[in-house]
Amino acid sequence: MATLIAPHNAAELKPLFVSDPNERARLKTEAAQLPAITISSAAAGNAVMLAGGYFTPLAGFMSKADALGVGQTMRTSSGLFWPTPVLNLVHDAGAIEPGDRIALEDPNVEGAPVLAIQTVEAVDKFSASELEELAEQVFGTTDRKHPGVEQFMAQGDVALSGPIEVLNYSYFETDFPDTFRTAVDIRNEILERGWERVVAFQTRNPMHRAHEELCRMAMERLGADGLVIHMLLGKLKPGDIPAPVRDAAIRKMVELYFPENSTLITGYGFDMLYAGPREALLHAVFRQNMGATDFIVGRDHAGVGDYYEPFEAQEIFEKIPNDALKIQMFVADHTAFSKKLNKVVMMREAPDHTKDDFVLLSGTAVREMLGRGEALPGEFARPEVAQILMDYYREEAS
């Protein structure tokens, strides 16, 4: 029987989804009588992650003190290592007071059904300067052009903290039935397969040849039994390829180019933060919770624009205490197809190459080619994957 890596700072996962149908029905009845607020998309994503056990050992939304501690030292008031605040921010708490139970309505589902019930422990107001400082610590900038900062600063300045009981998984379970999985689901699948060394790969994009080969390299070099491709299914910035298209492209790639039963294609319900180094650490926390032993961290991981240095997300792992996480980082350089060697390589492992020896395409160039209906080079993308992307762009243009 395989022994799985322990969850983050806990003996077992702590999913906050109410799994007992009778209790869930009782809570839905209670929710109808409670004061209700429609929460932000970010808070809804936090609730879904808490529901699925990804945010073990958290019991709910953080207090202002915990969030400020996370910003300053990546520690909550109790000393728990955590890299990003998990907040329920609102613009106005109205008459809500500590001790109240409130219904949290889902902003991402038609009719705003109740997503969770929260027992409010504190109602704390952030000053404008505290929010600015927190944004600077988490995102490395206060520039409103940064999509994560813009989204964070738009949520409100009042934090409702306290434990939650989650009643559903928002739109993720219905919109992505084949892909959305909780940390509990993935742990169980890893156990069933008997995998002991498991590599996790984070993606918000379709996977091209370089990503594919990077996963293969990590598995071979680590002697891993399995790979979990774990894609973000929540909100992205404008211009990013939507989740259903990404999902189809990744499934086609795995079906044709990976050995059978070597790979799990899964997704999680969360909005992208684009927080670079801090988000890389958060990704590591919840990949440990889902049972992965190793996590690929590549160039510009979870970055956006020019806000972060290319390998800043790797360097932050060297700055945290050794006992902060059990999961190991697989350090990846930029990967690209070498025309000299006729295969994908990590660029730092080909010191005799010049830039012209690699097939390199920027995301912008790829989007422009696809938008014009041009096939991507075979060295850059598998033809079957490129076709799915071309069909999407053609549809968008028509």
Could you tell me the end-to-end alpha-carbon distance of the chain, in angstroms, rounded to an integer? 53
193 is catalytic: no
State how far the Cα of 358 lies from the Cα of 344, in Å rounded to an integer: 9
Say which of 101, 193, 205, 367 is annotated catalytic.
205
One-letter amino acid at 154 equals A
Cβ atoms < 10 Å from Cβ of 365: 12
Spatial CA neighbour of 397 closest among 370, 375, 374: 370
Report H helices in the chain: 21-31, 41-51, 64-73, 128-139, 147-153, 172-175, 183-193, 209-222, 243-257, 277-289, 312-319, 363-371, 383-397
Spatial CA neighbour of 86 closest among 137, 152, 6: 152
Structure tokens at 52: 């699925």
205 is catalytic: yes
Say which of 204, 251, 299, 367 is annotated catalytic.
204
Whether the link from the prior residue into 7 is cis, omega within 30° of 0, is: no
One-letter amino acid at 257 equals Y
> 254-261: which pairs have CB atoms within 8 A and are 24 or more residues apart?
254/229, 256/382, 256/384, 257/212, 257/382, 258/212, 258/227, 261/193
DSSP 230-295: EEE-S---TTSPPHHHHHHHHHHHHHHHS-TTSEEEEEE-------THHHHHHHHHHHHHTT-SEE
For the annotated catalytic residues, the residue numbers are 204-205
